[in-house]
Amino acid sequence: MNNNNKVFALKYRPQTFKDLIGQETTVETIKNSIRSQKTPNAYLFSGIRGVGKTTIARIVAKSLNCANGIENVCEENMCEHCESITNSNHIDVLEMDAASKTGVDDVRDLIEFSRYGPTSAKYKIFIVDEVHQMSKAAFNALLKTLEEPPDYLKFIFATTEIKKIPITVVSRCQRFDLSRIKSNELFEFIKKINDKEKGNVEDEALKLIVKISEGSVRDALSLLDRAVISVSKDEKVSLSMAQKLFGYFDKSNLIELFKNVFLGDEKKVIDIYRFIYDQGIEPKIFLNDFLELLYYFKNISHLKVDGTNFNLNDSEFNSIKELSNSINNETLMLFWQFTIKTLGEIDIVSNQHLAMEMFLIRLIHLKEIKSLKNLEDKTYNLNENNIENRTVDTNIVERDQVDFGNKTIGQIKNIVQEKKYSDKETLKSSKEISLNLKNLEELIRLCSSKKEIKLKYELETNVNLVSFAKNRIEISFNENLDKEFIKNLTSKLYEWTKNRWIISLSKKNGDLSIKEKELMKKKELLDNAKSTKIYKSVLEKFPDAELINIEIKKENNND
C-alpha cells in the first residue's frame, strides 16, 4: 500500500523510540533495561486510547530483535526483523487481540507455541492487546509460563483498563502507566504534520483538535486527517468551520448566554440556547459545557491564557476574566449545584429540550439568591407583627446600566410577595416534617415539597417496602432501582431530619410499590365496571367501544 494513501494515524505511527512524544520516562527506562540486558519477563503498558501502548510494544519488539542493536535500531533502511515487525508478519513476533482470543483454549495454544524457540530472531515475543478482555481461566492458565518463561520468550501486554487485570498477573509484569500527551506537545506535533501535508488548518482549529482528543495522539491525527480533506487547496479550516465539522459549538455563544442570564434577558437567553441546540448539541453535552464554564468563571484568576488545555481562546479567556470580576462566588456555587442536580434529573424528562429552556429560565431567577441560607432567613425571619402591612422595595435595573455586583438585576424581586407566612406556623410545620416521618407516604410528600423529583419517582415506582420504623427503612431488592438511590436518600434524610437513617436491602418480599398498587386498583375498577349492565348495554350499541379509564369524583356533602 502506498504510504501516501494511508490515514495519518498509520502514516505517522512512530517506528523508533525517537519518534515517540510524551513518554520520555517510560522510553528511558526500557532502553536502559535493554542496554544492560535486564529485560523483564513481561511488560504491561496501560493508559487511555491512542497514547502509544501497542506502538511502544512493537518498538520494544524491534529493539530486542534488531540486527543493529538497541543503539542503532533501524529507521529507514530496515533489517529483515524490523521490516517484518512493522508489517505485522514476523514469524517470531505474534500479535493477538485478547478481545477475540479470550478463552483458556486460546492461551493453551499460546503456551504450546511458546515451547519452541525462535526461528530467526533472538527473542520470541507475544504482544497481547486489550489483555483485560481475557477470561479468569485464561489468566490462571498463563500464570506459570508468565512467571518462569524460557529465556527466549517475552510477553508484552497492553490495556486501557488496568483494574480488570488480576493482581497476580500484574505482579508478574513490569508495569508502565502511559500518561496523556500534554496539550502544548500535542499541538506542536500535529502542527508539524499539518505543515508537512500542506494542510490549510489554522492554529485555533488545531487547538480545538487538541482539546477534543483529550491527550490521545491517534484521536488528534484522525481529526486532523478529517480537517485536511474537508476543504480544497484554496480554502482554510478556521475555528468556526472546525466547530461545525466536529460538532462543537462556539464557547463565545455560551458566554453570551451566561451574560444574558445575569441581565435577566429571558428572550435572548432562550434564543441563544435554541441556536446552540439547532447545531445538534445534546442537552447533556450542553450542561457539561455549562459546568466547565462555571469552573472558569470561578477560577479564572488562577489560570493562564496558555494553560487551560486549549479549552479557551484568547478572546473567550478575556471575556470571562472581565465578567468574573462582577459575579460573586456564592452565585456561581449555587449555579454549580443546580446544574449538577439538573444533570441527574434530565433522564427522567421526556422532552429534554424543553427541560433545558426551563432550566435556563430558573437560573435567571436563581441569580438573585446569594445562598440558600439567606433565602431561608428571609422566609422565616419575617416580623409577625408587621407582616400584613409589609412591602418590599425592588430595584429594577435598566439593561444598559447593569452592574454584576450584589445589586438586584432584571425584573425579579428579592422576597416573594403576596404570600403571607407566620413565623410560628412555618417553624412548626418544618419541625413536624423533620421529626415525624411515620410512613412511606409522608416521605414521598416530603420529597415532593423539597423538589427532589428523582427520589420521589424511585420511591413511588421502584421501592418495595418491607418495614418503615424510626430512622430505619427496609426495602426488598429491585433491579430497576437506581444504583445511587440508597446513598442519595440517606444523605437527604440526614439533611432534612438531622438524624442518621439506615436504609437496608432485605431478602424478604416487600409490599407492592405505590405505582403497582395504583395499577392494580385501576385494573380492579375497570374489571368491576366491565361487569356492570351499563357497560354491557354500551357494547351492544357500540361494539368497538373500549373502557380505558375510570375517574371517581367525590361529591360535596353540605348536610
pLDDT tens digits, 149-199: 888 999 999 999 999 999 999 999 999 999 888 888 899 999 999 998 888
d(C-alpha 311, C-alpha 293), whole Å: 10
Residues 6+ apart with CB under 8 A from 520: 512
CB 120 within 8 A of CB 92: yes
The helix/strand/coil state of 226 is helix
d(C-alpha 117, C-alpha 92), whole Å: 9
CB 346 within 8 A of CB 287: yes
pLDDT higher than 70, residue 370: no
The reply to whether 452 and 303 lie within a common domain is: no
H or E, element range at 222: helix 217-229
Q: What 8-state DSSP symbol labels residue 155?
A: E
CB 149 within 8 A of CB 124: no
**Residue 444 pLDDT:** 87
> Cα dihedral sign for 459, 464, 469, 470?
negative
Length of the chain: 559
Least confident of 74-83, 103-112, 265-274, 540-549: 540-549
Quick one: average pLDDT of 29-36? Answer: 90
CB 220 within 8 A of CB 190: yes
pLDDT digits (tens, 9 = 90+) for 188-229: 999 999 998 888 888 888 988 988 888 899 999 999 999 998
The reply to whether 142 and 191 lie within a common domain is: no
Whether 551 is covered by a domain: the verdict is no
Angle between helices 453-461 and 514-530 (to 10 degrees): 50
**Residue 42 pLDDT:** 92
Domain of residue 478, CATH code: 3.30.300
Number of Cα atoms under 13 Å in the Cβ half of residue 483: 0
The reply to whether 188 and 333 lie within a common domain is: no
What is the grid cell recorded at 410?
432584571
pLDDT digits (tens, 9 = 90+) for 410-457: 433 343 343 444 444 444 444 444 456 888 888 888 888 888 888 888
**Residue 451 pLDDT:** 83
Least confident of 187-196, 255-264, 474-483: 474-483
The reply to whether 338 and 461 lie within a common domain is: no
Cell 437560573 -> residue: 363
Q: Which of 191, 222, 246 is the last residue of a domain?
A: 246
Tell me what percent of the chain is helix, strand and coil, each rounded to the nearest 5: 55, 10, 40
The reply to whether 20 and 168 lie within a common domain is: yes
- DSSP letters of 483-548? TTHHHHHHHHHHHHHSS--EEEEESS--PPPHHHHHHHHHHHHHHHHHTSHHHHHHHHH-TT----
pLDDT digits (tens, 9 = 90+) for 49-107: 999 999 999 999 988 888 887 777 887 778 888 888 888 888 889 888 888 877 888 88
Give long-range contacts, CB 8 A cutoff, 24+ apart: 233-236.
233/198, 233/200, 235/200, 236/200, 236/201, 236/202
pLDDT higher than 60, residue 308: no
pLDDT digits (tens, 9 = 90+) for 375-405: 344 444 433 444 344 333 434 333 444 444 4
Quick one: average pLDDT of 226-246? Answer: 84
Whether 538 is covered by a domain: the verdict is no
The reply to whether 61 and 135 lie within a common domain is: yes
Whether 390 is covered by a domain: the verdict is no
Residues 6+ apart with CB under 8 A from 533: none
Whether 454 is covered by a domain: the verdict is yes
What is the grid cell recorded at 353?
429540550
pLDDT digits (tens, 9 = 90+) for 338-366: 999 998 888 888 888 889 999 999 888 87
What is the grid cell recorded at 509?
418480599
Number of Cα atoms under 13 Å in the Cβ half of residue 73: 21
Domain of residue 30, CATH code: 3.40.50.300
The reply to whether 358 and 212 lie within a common domain is: no
One-letter amino acid for residue 292 of the chain: E
The reply to whether 34 and 78 lie within a common domain is: yes
**Residue 156 pLDDT:** 93
Which of 264, 377, 370 lies closest to 327 in space, CA to CA? 370
Cell 422566609 -> residue: 379
Whether 172 is covered by a domain: the verdict is yes
Residues 6+ apart with CB under 8 A from 196: none
Quick one: average pLDDT of 36-41? Answer: 89
pTM score, two decimals? 0.58
Q: Which of 335, 351, 372 is the last residue of a domain?
A: 372
Which of 407, 399, 405 lies closest to 260 in space, CA to CA? 399
- Give the strand pairing for 472-476 and 465-469: antiparallel
pLDDT digits (tens, 9 = 90+) for 486-541: 888 888 888 888 888 888 888 788 888 888 888 888 888 888 888 888 877 888 77
Quick one: average pLDDT of 332-336? Answer: 89
The reply to whether 259 and 237 lie within a common domain is: no
Q: How confident is the model at residue 109 (pLDDT cuts 50, 70, 90)?
A: confident
**Residue 219 pLDDT:** 92
Quick one: average pLDDT of 130-139? Answer: 90
Whether 531 is covered by a domain: the verdict is no
Strand partners, 44: 157, 175
What is the grid cell recorded at 456?
420521589
One-letter amino acid for residue 33 of the chain: S
Number of Cα atoms under 13 Å in the Cβ half of residue 400: 0
Domain of residue 240, CATH code: 1.10.8
Whether 411 is covered by a domain: the verdict is no
Which of 51, 9, 55, 52 lies closest to 225 in space, CA to CA? 9
Which of 86, 152, 159, 97 lies closest to 125 in space, CA to CA? 152
> What range defines the domain where residue 55 resides?
3-177
Least confident of 28-42, 119-133, 261-275, 385-399: 385-399
The reply to whether 301 and 170 lie within a common domain is: no
d(C-alpha 117, C-alpha 42), whole Å: 17
The reply to whether 278 and 307 lie within a common domain is: yes
d(C-alpha 41, C-alpha 188), whole Å: 36
- DSSP letters of 466-499? EEEETTEEEEE--TTS-TTHHHHHHHHHHHHHSS
Q: How many domains does the chain divide into?
A: 4
**Residue 409 pLDDT:** 40
CB 119 within 8 A of CB 84: no
The reply to whether 350 and 279 lie within a common domain is: yes
Whether 44 is covered by a domain: the verdict is yes
Is the backbone of residue 258 left (phi > 0), alpha (psi -120 to 50) or beta? alpha
**Residue 304 pLDDT:** 67
Which of 419, 460, 430 lies closest to 443 in space, CA to CA? 460
The helix/strand/coil state of 465 is strand
**Residue 458 pLDDT:** 86
